[in-house]
């Protein structure tokens, strides 16, 4: 018997409805294409993986039974009630709700059904945002506020959806203040680079990240959060919050902090690992300015357009600028919102990506000033992220940041970031690469090279903490070799973003230039340009697909080539060119390139 596709689907729907007692109503007019246009008033806090959802002022009735779920007015109607400028218009009238008694996994499944059919219940009594309106919509962007690290967004309510917590509590409106949520992110890429080897730690797509191993399919992130947000909307009493972020996957390589389970990377150079990326407490003081947040623990460093956690980034890959700066800090940071224009931040830590109990720890300050204008549509963030002696240590980057966020209109915005970084007294890579015995004064080595002993097969350290290429690395160089030198770098990255399809998709364009003057960050000195075009496509607020195409070009001195090899390999090859072959021959021998094209994508499933 022949059964066409439509008949099969219809039978499946009938069976599902009968089995789950789901209120299937043909007159509701809900379809998979009726995806909600998210209000520009949605807000996500920094670093959060929870998913934003539009709010409706429709009166929604909720069951008293904590084990029941509620089906609300289809919020797809509110999509048509959004003007082009993203502001909410008159919401539709509510329809009767039906209680659904079910077990945990059935409730969890229904959370996704309501999300994909745009029938997620909304709270008519949700607190209102104070301060300036959110400048951009989320989705399709990671958050509706301009990024600010080291704090919650003061004055912004929690409008996020929590699939796992909704299944636990059974009521999507009256959720526990302590919430569990997370996501799984799987990525893949195809690249003209072809010499990568994850088992040997050869990241041939570097300096690109996080798709660092070419032509692979990987588990980038499996994340689980436990979180309680402080209520920063109210201004009459003290409140508190906390966050514990558990991350497993390939991306632990970028979040690892020296001294916190770091042997996975620094000793074993494992492709996959676990990292507790954020473990902190927030204390909210409403009477200090217009609100202040004191954060204590391990948290994401303050500046940056991008973020480590997959849902908090515009695209699958990250800029080179972001890849080679500070990631996390362990310390305390105070953020004070003086008024709608000025926000001040200051903190102390043992330094970038360094635990206070390691030998690399040193007392480090940071300070940022954020100025906002055009009713929140523009923001300028100036940061001195690492205030200490600036001398070489594990990722001890003295870094000055300037970031500008600009909303052009309801569908376009642009973000631009630049930094200048340096480390003083950086060991010359010449001594380690040529096997000269370690001497702290005359022939120093970089860190993480086997306690000043060569690693197996002369392999390089797996971290970003290279030494410097202080002079021409060729063996034919007749000058003297310095023991240490000053290692600076600078970078500029620009994003142009366009949201379309009722805020269910976005176009992401990234262009950047990075000058790693002494090769201390990437392993190979030179100028790198990178250009990326990508998209974000959302199914409701729970599934994100992000395809992209990127082009990278390196321009290195001394005839070096930086791409399709292990980071730092070209410098080592030239310094050990005892046959005095031309640089081009040496680079050809190791397979080095100067250009690369990469197609990549990831899929994020929120729970």
> What is the tens place of the pLDDT at every residue in 21-66?
333 333 333 333 333 333 333 333 334 444 443 333 332 233 333 3
Which residues are registered as beta bridge partners of 347? Answer: 333, 366
Task: Give the helix ranges, DSSP H, for 242-397.
Answer: 252-255, 263-266, 320-323
Which residues are registered as beta bridge partners of 77? Answer: none
Position 404 pLDDT exceeds 50: yes
More confident residue, 260 or 54: 260
Per the CB < 8 A criterion, the answer to whether 396 and 447 are in contact is no
pLDDT value for 1: 41
pLDDT value for 87: 33
Rounded Cα distance, 421 and 464, in Å? 14
Task: Give the helix ranges, DSSP H, for 1-68.
Answer: 5-20
What would the CATH number be for the domain defined by 180-606? 2.40.160.10
The pair of structure tokens assigned to 372 is: 């906002």
The pair of structure tokens assigned to 22 is: 């789901």
Position 68 pLDDT exceeds 70: no
Share of the chain above pLDDT 90, in %: 71
pLDDT value for 10: 43
User: Using one digit for the tens of pLDDT, what is the confidence trace for 140-180?
Assistant: 999 999 999 999 999 999 988 899 999 999 988 889 999 99
Residue 320 neighbours by CB under 8 Å, 6+ apart? 207, 208, 209, 491, 493, 512, 514, 522, 528, 530
The pair of structure tokens assigned to 277 is: 């990326």
Residue the block writes with tokens 């089995």 = 19
In this prediction, residue 450 has a pLDDT band, given cuts at 50, 70 and 90, of: low
SS (H, E, C) 215-280: CCEEEEEEEEEEEECCCCCCCCCCEEEEEEEEEEECCHHHHCEECECCHHHHCCCCCCEEEEEEEE
Cis before 210 (ω within 30): yes
Rounded Cα distance, 175 and 484, in Å? 57
Q: What does pLDDT average to over the chain? A: 84
**Segment 445-466 mean pLDDT:** 62
pLDDT value for 121: 85
pLDDT value for 448: 66
**Segment 428-448 mean pLDDT:** 90
The pair of structure tokens assigned to 596 is: 């690369």
Rounded Cα distance, 322 and 324, in Å? 6
Per the CB < 8 A criterion, the answer to whether 247 and 290 are in contact is no
Per the CB < 8 A criterion, the answer to whether 232 and 290 are in contact is no
In this prediction, residue 133 has a pLDDT band, given cuts at 50, 70 and 90, of: very high
More confident residue, 293 or 86: 293
In this prediction, residue 459 has a pLDDT band, given cuts at 50, 70 and 90, of: low
The pair of structure tokens assigned to 536 is: 């974000």
Position 376 pLDDT exceeds 90: yes
pLDDT value for 492: 98
- Show me where the domains of the chain are located: 180-606
In this prediction, residue 96 has a pLDDT band, given cuts at 50, 70 and 90, of: very low
**Segment 276-291 mean pLDDT:** 98
The pair of structure tokens assigned to 215 is: 């032509």
User: Using one digit for the tens of pLDDT, what is the confidence trace for 232-241?
Assistant: 999 999 999 9
pLDDT value for 463: 54
pLDDT value for 452: 61
The pair of structure tokens assigned to 592 is: 């080095």
pTM of the model: 0.82
Question: What DSSP element (H or E) covers 573?
Answer: helix 569-575
Which residues are registered as beta bridge partners of 281? Answer: 242, 296
Secondary-structure percent of the chain, ordered helix, strand, coil, rounded to 5: 15, 35, 50
């Amino acid at each position: 018997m022949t059964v066409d596709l439509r008949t099969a689907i219809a039978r499946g729907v009938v069976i599902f409805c009968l089995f789950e007692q789901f209120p299937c109503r043909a007159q509701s007019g809900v379809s998979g294409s009726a995806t909600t246009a998210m209000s520009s008033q949605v807000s996500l806090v920094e670093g959060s993986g929870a998913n934003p959802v539009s709010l409706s002022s429709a009166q929604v009735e909720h069951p008293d039974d904590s084990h029941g779920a509620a089906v609300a007015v289809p919020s797809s109607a509110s999509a048509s009630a959004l003007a082009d400028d993203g502001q909410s218009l008159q919401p539709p009238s509510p329809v009767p709700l039906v209680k659904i008694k079910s077990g945990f996994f059935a409730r969890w499944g229904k959370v996704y059904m309501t999300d994909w059919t745009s029938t997620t219940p909304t709270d008519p009594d949700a607190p209102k945002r104070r301060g300036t309106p959110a400048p951009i919509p989320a989705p399709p962007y990671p958050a509706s506020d301009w990024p600010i690290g080291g704090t919650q967004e003061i004055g912004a309510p929690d409008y996020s959806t929590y699939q796992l917590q909704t299944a636990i509590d059974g009521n999507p409106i009256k959720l526990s203040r302590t919430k569990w949520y997370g996501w799984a992110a799987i990525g893949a890429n195809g690249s003209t680079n072809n010499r990568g080897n994850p088992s040997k730690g050869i990241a041939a797509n570097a300096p690109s990240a996080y798709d660092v191993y070419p032509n692979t399919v990987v588990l980038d992130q499996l994340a689980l959060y436990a979180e309680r947000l402080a209520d920063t909307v109210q201004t009459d009493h003290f409140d508190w919050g906390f966050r514990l972020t558990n991350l497993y996957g390939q991306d632990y390589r970028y979040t690892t902090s020296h001294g916190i389970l770091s042997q996975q990377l620094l000793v074993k150079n494992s492709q996959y690992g676990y990292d507790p990326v954020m473990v902190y407490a927030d204390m909210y003081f409403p009477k200090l300015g217009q609100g202040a947040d004191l954060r204590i623990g391990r948290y994401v460093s303050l500046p940056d357009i991008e973020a480590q956690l997959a849902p908090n980034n515009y695209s699958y890959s990250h800029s080179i600028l972001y890849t080679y700066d500070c990631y996390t800090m362990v310390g305390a940071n105070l953020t004070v919102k003086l008024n709608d224009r000025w926000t001040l931040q200051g903190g102390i830590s043992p330094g970038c990506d360094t635990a206070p109990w390691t030998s690399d720890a040193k007392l480090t300050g940071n300070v940022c000033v954020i100025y906002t204008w055009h009713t929140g549509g523009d923001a300028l963030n100036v940061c001195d992220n690492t205030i200490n002696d600036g001398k070489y240590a594990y990722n001890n980057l003295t870094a000055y940041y300037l970031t500008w966020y600009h909303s052009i209109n309801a569908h376009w915005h642009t973000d631009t970031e630049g930094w200048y970084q340096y480390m003083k007294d950086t060991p010359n890579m010449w001594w380690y690469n040529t096997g000269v015995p370690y001497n702290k004064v005359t022939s120093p080595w970089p860190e993480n090279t086997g306690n000043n002993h060569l690693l197996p097969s002369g392999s390089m350290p797996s971290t970003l903490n290279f030494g410097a290429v202080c002079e021409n690395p060729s063996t034919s160089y007749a000058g003297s070799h310095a023991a240490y030198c000053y290692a600076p770098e600078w970078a500029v990255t620009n994003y142009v973003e366009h949201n379309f399809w009722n805020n269910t998709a976005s176009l992401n364009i990234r262009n950047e230039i990075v000058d790693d003057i002494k090769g201390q960050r990437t392993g190979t000195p030179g100028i790198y340009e990178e250009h990326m075009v990508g998209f974000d496509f959302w199914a409701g607020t729970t599934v994100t697909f992000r395809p992209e195409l990127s082009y990278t070009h390196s321009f290195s001195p001394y005839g070096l080539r930086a791409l399709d090899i292990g980071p730092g390999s070209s410098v080592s090859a030239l310094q050990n060119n005892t046959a005095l072959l031309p640089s081009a021959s040496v680079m050809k021998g190791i397979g080095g390139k100067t250009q690369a094209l990469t197609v990549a994508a990831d899929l994020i499933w929120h729970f």
